[in-house]
Structures are given as C-alpha cells and as structure tokens.
C-alpha cells in the first residue's frame, strides 16, 4: 500500500500531503456515503500496521521533493483509507513527523476517541477534524453503520473530554444525506456542538460517489436549515460543499501519483486531465489504466470520477 500521496487540494487545509497509515478500508464504520467504497474489514481493536520509521522516511522523501520544486505545502494530514486512530503507532508517527516543520492534521471519524490512549495521540496534532453525523442512535446506525461494539454515548463523551485537554484547532464535520428524516436531529446536534465549541463546525454533503447507491445529496432547504440551527448555537459554521479544484501535484511518475491519490481521494476527470498535462503525459495513459483495471470510472451528480480499483492487480503495489 502506498503510504504518502499528494499534495492534494483540500477545502479545509489548503495544499495537503496525505498520510495513508491504514490498509485499504479497515475501519470502525461503514458509512453509507464513504467516497472510497464499502468497508472491507470492520474492527475496533487498535493494532500496529506500518513501522513508524517507514512512514517518516516516505513522508520525508516526499517533502524534500516538494521543497525542491518550491511547491507550497500547508499541512501534512493523516487521512487514510480507513480510520487513522486504529493505528497503535499513531502517536510515535506524529512525533517523528514534527521534525519536518509543517503543521500536522488528522481527519478522524471520532469513533475511538473514548479511549484515553487515542485522545493522548490526538493531542499531538495541530488540527483535529471530528466527525459528528448524528446524535441519536437510530440516525448514527443508519448513516455511519458502526461496529457493533461501539457506543455513541461513549464517543460523544470522549469528544468533550478531548476538547477540554486540547490546545490546537478542533473542527467538526457533519455529513447530511438526502432522503433521511432529520427532524429533531439537527437541534440535538447543535446543542452538543455548542457544548463541544469547535473552532469551525462544517456542514458537508456527498460530493463524490458514495459507497451505497441510494445515497443522494440533500435538498437546499435541509442544508440551509442545518446552517441556521447550528449558527444559533455556534460562532462559526461553514459549508463544505464546493469542489476543491484541480490543483493536484505530480512529482514522480504520473501513473503512480494518480494511483496514490485515487486510492484515498476520487479525482474528477478534469483533474486527472490537468495532472496529465502538468506531467507531460498523454490522455491515452488514463485509458490504459482503465483497460488494465487500475482505475474504475464512476458518474455522480453530473461529473465523471476515477477511483483506484483495489479488487484487481495493481501497478506498483507495495504492501
């Protein structure tokens, strides 16, 4: 598995270098809207996946290449194929990466934050994004499809404990899914968010192909309602619904870079074409990757996306 990808454009973090510290689709949740497909292995037990030294060395090499090209880098971000806090080595890894001199972020689904060791690891990050898609058990199970051993009350309590101890930037992300009844849910969520008091509360909608076909984007009325209800309780509420743009970067082999990025970040067709242009590669490369089952093509909300195909032999796979 490729551990480092990008830099990629991020709607929250500017230009972000991704760290993929979890094997493909090992997660505590099976969120219906997940952009990289269905969860293949659900677990809540934390374990060691990769040696911290390997993660550091791969990130360091990539950072050196970025700096040689005078490319601006805003964050190093743990945003893997699964849930990053499942990694027992997480605290060691972030401490090693500190020496590179860039702010370090993590995007977590929050499911293991009730664990003191997980909270201790998260304290080492400059920026922590917590997922809060639901407050009631019914909605939580419908949207996030959690591992059977998880308890929502413990997760919510763990978030509050973490926020009390943390000095960095905390943001929350709430994904709204079309076709679901949010009556009363948004008000309860706003109450909890008010207690948590994040720096920013983001409201998101599915903008990339979801894991389950029934998932659609919510109507504008629901999104506006959520914004209004959250804003009554919170200082800063923002939408996370726009396209992040095509400013992807290729520093090595264009084919390998596309595979690394699409492993965790579906790319629009125009973004891949732009990346091919920057890397002096022909559009025929994309067709060749499709023919060899390295990529799969998906249409969603009027746009064409490309995702890495993990169910077929892959070029340059390193596990």
CATH code of the domain containing 259: 1.10.10
Q: Are residues 235 and 260 in the same domain?
A: no
Q: Residue 248, Cβ neighbours under 10 Å: how many? A: 22
Q: Which helix (H) or strand (E) holds 170?
A: strand 169-175
Assess if residue 317 is contained within a domain. Answer: no
Assess if residue 104 is contained within a domain. Answer: yes
Q: Are strands 169-175 and 26-27 parallel, antiparallel or unpaired?
A: unpaired
Task: Tell me the C-alpha distance between 21 and 251, whole Å.
Answer: 21
Q: Are residues 229 and 95 in the same domain?
A: yes
Q: Tens digits of per-residue pLDDT, 115-128? A: 999 999 999 999 99
Q: Are residues 232 and 265 in the same domain?
A: no
Assess if residue 224 is contained within a domain. Answer: yes
CATH code of the domain containing 152: 3.20.20.70
Among the candidates 240, 271, 292, a domain finishes at 240
Task: Tell me the C-alpha distance between 107 and 175, whole Å.
Answer: 14
Beta bridge partners of 303: 300
CA 183 from chain centre, in angstroms, equals 27
Assess if residue 220 is contained within a domain. Answer: yes
Q: Tens digits of per-residue pLDDT, 219-255? A: 878 888 888 899 899 989 887 765 444 456 555 677 7
The reply to whether the predicted model has a pTM over 0.85 is no
Q: Residue 83, Cβ neighbours under 10 Å: how many? A: 26
Among the candidates 240, 269, 297, a domain finishes at 240
Q: Which helix (H) or strand (E) holds 5?
A: strand 4-10
Assess if residue 316 is contained within a domain. Answer: no
Q: Are residues 185 and 54 in the same domain?
A: yes
Which residues, including other chains, have CB under 8 Å from residue 278's CB and lie 6 or more apart? 249, 250
Task: Tell me the C-alpha distance between 170 and 182, whole Å.
Answer: 24
Task: Tell me the C-alpha distance between 7 and 66, whole Å.
Answer: 8
104 DSSP 8-state letter: E
Structure tokens at 68: 């040689």
Q: Tens digits of per-residue pLDDT, 19-62? A: 999 988 899 999 999 877 788 899 999 999 999 999 999 999 99
The count of domains in the chain is 2
Q: Tens digits of per-residue pLDDT, 132-190? A: 999 999 999 999 999 999 999 999 999 999 999 999 999 999 999 998 999 999 999 99
Worst-scoring range by mean pLDDT, 10-19, 75-84, 205-214? 205-214
Q: Are residues 123 and 169 in the same domain?
A: yes
Q: Are residues 235 and 258 in the same domain?
A: no
Assess if residue 24 is contained within a domain. Answer: yes
Q: Are residues 100 and 27 in the same domain?
A: yes
Q: Please provide the size of the chain in residues.
A: 319
Among the candidates 211, 240, 269, a domain finishes at 240
Structure tokens at 13: 């973090």
From the list 171, 169, 174, 133, the residue with the least C-alpha distance to 152 is 133
The answer, yes or no, to whether residue 290 has pLDDT greater than 90, is no
Place of tokens 């060749």: 288
Angle, CA of 69, 71 and 72, to the nearest 5°: 155
Q: Are residues 227 and 294 in the same domain?
A: no
Whether residue 180 contacts residue 269, with contact meaning beta carbons closer than 8 Å, is answered with no
Q: Where are the alpha helices (DSSP H) in the chain?
A: 52-68, 90-97, 116-122, 137-143, 152-165, 185-196, 220-233, 254-262, 269-278, 284-291
Domain of residue 281: give its range.
Answer: 254-308
From the list 79, 74, 67, the residue with the least C-alpha distance to 4 is 79
Assess if residue 284 is contained within a domain. Answer: yes
Q: Are residues 88 and 118 in the same domain?
A: yes
Q: Are residues 297 and 236 in the same domain?
A: no
Q: Residue 286 has what pLDDT?
A: 78
Q: Are residues 186 and 282 in the same domain?
A: no
Q: How confident is the model at residue 257 (pLDDT cuts 50, 70, 90)?
A: confident
Q: Are residues 141 and 285 in the same domain?
A: no
Q: Residue 1 has what pLDDT?
A: 60
Assess if residue 113 is contained within a domain. Answer: yes
């Amino acid at each position: 598995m490729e551990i480092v990808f990008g830099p990629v454009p991020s709607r929250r973090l500017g230009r972000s270098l991704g760290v993929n510290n979890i094997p493909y689709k090992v997660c505590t949740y099976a969120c219906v809207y997940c952009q990289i497909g269905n969860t293949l292995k659900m677990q809540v037990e934390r374990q060691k996946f990769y040696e911290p030294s390997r993660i550091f060395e791969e990130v360091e090499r990539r950072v050196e290449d970025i700096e040689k090209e005078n490319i601006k880098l805003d964050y190093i971000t743990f945003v893997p194929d699964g849930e990053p806090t499942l990694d027992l080595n997480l605290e060691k890894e972030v401490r090693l990466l500190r020496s590179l001199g860039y702010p370090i972020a993590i995007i977590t689904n929050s499911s293991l934050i009730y664990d003191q060791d997980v909270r201790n690891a998260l304290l080492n990050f400059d920026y922590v994004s917590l997922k809060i898609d639901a407050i009631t058990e019914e909605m939580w199970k419908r949207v996030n499809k959690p591992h059977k051993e998880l308890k929502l009350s413990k997760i919510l309590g763990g978030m509050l404990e973490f926020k009390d101890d943390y000095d960095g930037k905390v943001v929350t992300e709430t994904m709204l899914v079309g076709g679901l009844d949010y009556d009363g849910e948004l008000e309860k969520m706003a109450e909890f968010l008010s207690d948590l008091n994040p720096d920013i509360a983001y409201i998101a909608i599915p903008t990339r192909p979801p894991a389950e076909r029934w998932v659609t984007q919510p109507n504008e009325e629901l999104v506006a309602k959520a914004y209004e209800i959250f804003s009554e309780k919170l200082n800063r509420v923002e939408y996370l619904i726009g396209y992040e743009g095509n400013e992807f970067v290729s520093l090595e082999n264009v084919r390998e870079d596309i595979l690394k990025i699409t492993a965790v970040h579906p790319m629009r067709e125009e973004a891949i074409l732009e990346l091919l242009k920057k890397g002096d590669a022909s559009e025929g490369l994309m067709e060749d990757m499709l023919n060899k089952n390295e990529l799969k093509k998906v249409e969603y909300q009027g746009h064409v996306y490309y995702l890495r195909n993990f169910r077929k032999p892959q070029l340059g796979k390193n596990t």
